[in-house]
Chains A and B, each alone.
Chain A
């Protein structure tokens, strides 16, 4: 048994295609995510904004001070230029500014289109309006603290409104991290291809090596079990390398107890491998057909877990939560959320139990399909 496992492991580690898709591809995808989302965060240009002073009232002056403070802050979020209304409108029309703030007793914002910059300008105004009363009270009663208060409000506005989003659990989290969780889930799910190969190479009607192994004096169950162990370990190593890369190299904030993250990785890997084994064991289709089925299932479940479209998991949670409960990739990414974001141990336990249940069903299913089988045709 150990000898069979040794050679299966050697074969896996030497297979360049397997190594690429199981190990390198997730790392490359992770790096691409990091670079892309990093760009979104780090390369926002300073937003040119026109300011039209329509009133010299105290309330209006307070808003003008607020805008000036934001413009002078280190974040270089906006740059403001005072203009006449006509100049401002022309600048907006020519695309020289993204919006016009009207400094009045009741401040206004005019923008020409919808985009990230316009949203930021809108968020700043909303932030000011929410806190206008506080600012005005402070300016009346404790003018020396006004700058401090504006600083706090403006930094709060810059950090929360457009960088963070609300999660299903109602807590705030970095919206981009869900892509990385889905990526880990996808890597776990990629174990299905290894599981598929393990099952296919034990089937006399699909693969010539399978025919040779079928007539060996070691039972097929034992051979499949040996392969299953090896392939699971291989997949767990892949996922662990990805986690180390995310946390150690990219310094992503996947905060959470490693004692809980690792079981998710292990169970996720097992569920991926066992799913592949089941698909590999069922039916008389050729290897290519089984591979196509597996590819569809793994990508489909990764899609539904939010790998390609960030909000899909939330939509499913709202309209069809059952799918999130049975989709292995969703279960894996949700379990990571529970550990890192929600700190919801009941939900974590539910996800883990669901995964374990599926893994048992898949493993038993494939073992039953493959044992002592005699084929109709070879």
Chain B
């Protein structure tokens, strides 16, 4: 559906996109994950023919994307990072206005506007002006304006920034619902939990390059860590710490303020082995829990830095 090949975009000496390659397939929720400044929004802007680029090829629905590719644009909906609506129009009027940029038929437009209002749950606020809405409701309006014409491809650029948890859940559920109804979604975010929750395939971007692409399982399989065991309220001396480090499949430990984090490679019985060791040495502890690796671990292991750095 979307092919981006060898895309290069420079701002003077700064390379925003560094030979970026992406292949987005129909029907997926494709996550673009990366820290601020990694090139997510620049890639989207190039894709939409808003931004000039220095090198590379972009094709959308099999066509080269140009500013006057109105046929292709009809099939695309965008939810920009900033709320982009008219302050003097009501919720309903804003949605109708942006629908009018795609749909000429008045009756069809009316139906689509009603659907969009229902989809984002703004029925009670449809006669309100944007300034009367809370941050979360504004974001919902922003989404409604982007999806009202029922596009085949929806691009969402950090749609949950500065949104309360209730609205965030509503938005994430909505995205999954849109996808089930047949839309392909490109979702950019620096919130790894969200990407992990909804995306079927993920590209991790850093310094304008795609450093890893795959499903979350595939990405996690790329790294050494298979399990992270955290033990709180534990008192250890250097000898104990060294012995834990030497346990099978343990490749890294961190101990600070009576909290021990043990990183193990993928293997069975990791937690059991640690518990057995503590029991043998009669070492007491508070809370113990085990976690599977996150996308942050993937990012950390590949780039050597935290995703939110």
Contact = CB atoms under 8 A, between A and B. Distances in A.
A261 B73 CA distance: 45
Interface in A200-256: 204, 208-209, 211-219, 223
A374 B80 contact: no
B50 A216 contact: no
B74 A378 contact: no
A374 B51 contact: yes
Contacts of B85: 209
Interface stretch (A6-14, A53-61, A137-145, A147-155): A6-14
B84 A211 contact: yes
A10 B97 CA distance: 11
B142 to A, nearest CB: 9
Interface stretch (B98-106, B241-249, B275-283): B98-106
A3 B113 CA distance: 14
Given A208-B82, A372-B68, A377-B11, A7 B96 contact: yes
A174 B100 CA distance: 52
Contact of B49 (A3, A208, A374, A376): A374
B202 interface: no
A217 B70 contact: yes
B70 A219 contact: yes
A217 B73 CA distance: 5
A4 interface: yes
Interface string B31-67: 0000000000100010011111000000000000011
7 contacts: A7-B93, A11-B86, A212-B98, A215-B78, A223-B101, A376-B52, A377-B11
Contacts of B78: 211-212, 215
A15 interface: yes
B264 interface: no
A10 B86 CA distance: 11
B188 to A, nearest CB: 14
A212 B80 contact: yes
Contact of B50 (A11, A15, A218, A375): A375
Contacts of B51: 374-378
B54 to A, nearest CB: 11
Nearest to B16: A377
A3 B96 contact: yes
Contacts of B271: none
A29 interface: no
A4 B100 contact: yes
A373 interface: yes
Contacts of B50: 204, 211, 214-215, 374-375, 378
Contacts of B74: 217
B145 interface: yes
A3 B68 contact: no
B88 interface: yes
Contacts, number: 90
Nearest to B94: A7
Interface residues on B, range: 35 or more
Nearest to B70: A217
B52 A208 contact: no
A374 B86 CA distance: 23
Contacts of B145: 212
Contacts of A213: 101
Interface in A1-41: 3-4, 7, 10-12, 14-15
A375 B52 contact: yes
A10 B70 contact: no
Interface in B139-158: 145-146
A160 B48 CA distance: 69
B89 interface: yes
A1 to B, nearest CB: 9
Given A209-B86, A377-B11, A218 B101 contact: yes
A208 B84 contact: yes
Contact of A374 (B52, B76, B109, B146): B52
Contacts of B84: 208-209, 211-212
Interface string A357-378: 0000000000000001111111
Given A10-B93, A375-B51, A216 B101 contact: yes
Nearest to B66: A372
Contacts of B161: none
Contacts of A216: 73, 98, 101-102
B52 A14 contact: no
Given A10-B88, A374-B50, A374-B52, 13 more contacts: A3-B109, A7-B89, A7-B96, A7-B100, A204-B45, A208-B82, A217-B71, A376-B52, A377-B11, A377-B51, A378-B45, A378-B50, A378-B51
A214 B65 CA distance: 13
Given A208-B82, A372-B68, A373-B67, A215 B93 contact: no
Contacts of A219: 68, 70
- A10, A204, A212, A214 interface centre (most CB from chain B within 10 Å): A212
A259 B41 CA distance: 54
A108 B100 CA distance: 80
A217 B67 contact: no
A90 B96 CA distance: 81
A7 B49 CA distance: 26
Nearest to A377: B11
A212 B146 CA distance: 8
Contacts of A209: 84-86
B211 interface: no
A140 B45 CA distance: 96
A14 B67 contact: no
B172 interface: no
Contacts of A218: 70, 100-102
Contacts of A7: 86, 89, 93, 96-97, 100
A197 to B, nearest CB: 11
